[in-house]
Structure 1
């Protein structure tokens, strides 16, 4: 039975998040008004093409948007247990980052410090956030490495990142992230460049940790197979905005936005026989230095109407938490046209 989502349990509530980067070419509006929430023990998957703002959103939650190039705009709110982390001072941010919210970065080889033994990278977290002495922290680090499946942890704790395989490095990254038993775990493409067997092991490990610690997980990915196996809720991002969100079953079985349709159609199906061409999304995402004034997906959408080019779509609700931004659901669009589109998609 699927878990019922109770929004009142939210531990993290992101409201109207806007992040820009100031470059020589102009202001890149990387995240444009993103809002979502996640509860304890829940997995929220954020999906979308590369460059849509997924990782920037995660870095904003971790307070890793650094000026003067990066800027979180006024009016943005990131509420952790009701407190806006954007108002934290440096001391409180250090306590939050790593202690209460941790992140598994995309590429373990570039994220781990190559000049430090992996054990010391875990120990410094334990000393800083759990007030352990170094001897106790070392014993705890060995236990954590064993818990994430590192064999011979007592010997390997004194090795450097380059002495580990890709899958083992990713396990070390997870060990660092969960060392302080965070309330929120952000996994940014945690299985990138890993073979499918190691991918399955890493995802199973994250699930086990989530269940054991009752941690809220934000999973950033473009792999719908990973999403299907782990997520409770899904947020679909495009051009710095969430254009559809809802429970996993709603997004997979009753998607509403043409971009979500296109993403799902691009995934191979088990029932296919013989040669079958994958659907592709023609065109490229818009330039976020000068975002379009209408729907960001309009130029690539086969159902584009005049209003899509002129006005940003409103958000329409299809249940308690299922929402989508698309003019197809406007009250002014004749019902028979929408039915025709849905029939075409069904037979497509």
Structure 2
């Protein structure tokens, strides 16, 4: 398949009073046309910063995209865009569903006008035509009584309905790329399922490529073609759905999978949590970012960054346990693999 976007060696830092926060450290991945990928990891791992870099929303002088970073969209490095090119790109070519719909939506504008705004700017529609299209978008995302709802304000909607409005705004101009940043945050499980179904159905119907950002592997189970597990600003494991869920190769991926509640567990079994916290990215660890929290940590993990080991296809993981000299036993996964 044809690649729509390629992120190469993306490095993003923020200058703060405490020092330079190295939020993203050499991240690389790609998205094919019509494909859905997921970037998974805890808060503070660099997922949202990666998505903001793709949207050109890293604000200088605090935020800096370092030299050597590339984001190739349809053969062009968008990091070299002018501000006018970014304005044409956002909304028309690439749209984003933000985490908190209540703060992302304008509280002083009716939702119909907020959807129509994109259509007027990027498609050159008249206000009447844009409102007619906005009504269709509200119906498309499953908002009942759309002809009435189009004239209401965001505070008159529930959390799930506001998220549907955000999806309608993002897809109004039929962009090639949709970034969904934690689209189910703060929603109950039934509404979460509905939102994921809407994104899945619209992606299949419109042929839109999707980057789904989440901390919950359960959310991506029925949506993503490929999954990228991110930790401490780096992608530590990447593979397709079956490889990540049924043959994980990194201790962090295993920990994320174990922390997802399961219906087949006994009632008295404790939910598994990942001990500790992500590292301070003002002073990133010298070796593996997950070493301090890993129960299989070796001396080399604390001092030297592991290479990426390949396990067939596009499945890869960065972990010293796959080195031929590693002797750890009772691992939750099989070791081995060639160095990339």
Q: By the TM > 0.5 criterion, same fold?
A: yes
Aligned position for 1:39: 32
Of 320, 330, 341, 2:330 maps to 341
Runs of 4+ in 1 over 2 A off after TM superposition: none
> How much does 1:345 deviate?
5.8
Q: Which has the higher helix share?
A: 1
Aligned position for 1:107: 100
1:159-183 Cα shifts (integer Å, max 9, x gaps): 1111111111111000000000010
Alignment of 1:249 with 2:238, yes or no, is no
Q: Secondary structure at the match of 2:238?
A: strand
Aligned position for 2:288: 295
> How much does 1:298 deviate?
0.7
1:101-250 correspondence runs (5 A) = 101-250=94-243
Q: Secondary structure at the match of 1:226?
A: helix
> How much does 1:305 deviate?
1.1
Question: Contact 2:238–2:314 (CA<8 Å) still a contact in 1?
Answer: yes
Q: Report the Cα distance in structure 2 between the residues aligned to 1:177 and 1:291, rounded to whole angstroms.
A: 35
Gaps of 5+ in 1: 1-5
Aligned position for 2:85: 92
Q: Report the Cα distance in structure 2 between the residues aligned to 1:203 and 1:273, rounded to whole angstroms.
A: 28
> How much does 1:289 deviate?
0.2
1:138-191 Cα shifts (integer Å, max 9, x gaps): 111111111111122222212111111111111100000000001000001111
> How much does 1:332 deviate?
3.2
**Equivalent residue pairs, number:** 334
1:236-255 Cα shifts (integer Å, max 9, x gaps): 01111110001010001110
Alignment of 1:307 with 2:296, yes or no, is no
Aligned position for 1:18: 11
1:6-47 Cα shifts (integer Å, max 9, x gaps): 4xx210110111111110110100111111111122111111
Question: Contact 2:236–2:317 (CA<8 Å) still a contact in 1?
Answer: yes
Q: Report the Cα distance in structure 2 between the residues aligned to 1:306 and 1:53, rounded to whole angstroms.
A: 26
Q: Report the Cα distance in structure 2 between the residues aligned to 1:282 and 1:148, rounded to whole angstroms.
A: 39
Q: Report the Cα distance in structure 2 between the residues aligned to 1:123 and 1:180, rounded to whole angstroms.
A: 10
1:194-215 Cα shifts (integer Å, max 9, x gaps): 1222111111111111011111
Aligned position for 1:3: none
Q: Report the Cα distance in structure 1 between the residues aligned to 2:206 and 2:263, rounded to whole angstroms.
A: 34
1:71-86 correspondence runs (5 A) = 71-86=64-79
Q: State the TM-score, normalizing by the size of structure 2.
A: 0.95
Q: Report the Cα distance in structure 2 between the residues aligned to 1:23 and 1:35, rounded to whole angstroms.
A: 25
Q: State the TM-score, normalizing by the size of structure 1.
A: 0.93
Instruction: Name the CA shift for 1:34/1:345 in 2 (closer, same or farther; >3 Å).
Output: closer
1:326-346 Cα shifts (integer Å, max 9, x gaps): 11112333xxx25x333x669
Q: Secondary structure at the match of 1:267?
A: coil
1:52-108 Cα shifts (integer Å, max 9, x gaps): 111111111100001111111111111111211101112211111110100000000
Question: Contact 2:249–2:333 (CA<8 Å) still a contact in 1?
Answer: no
Gaps of 5+ in 2: 335-340
Q: Report the Cα distance in structure 2 between the residues aligned to 1:316 and 1:192, rounded to whole angstroms.
A: 33
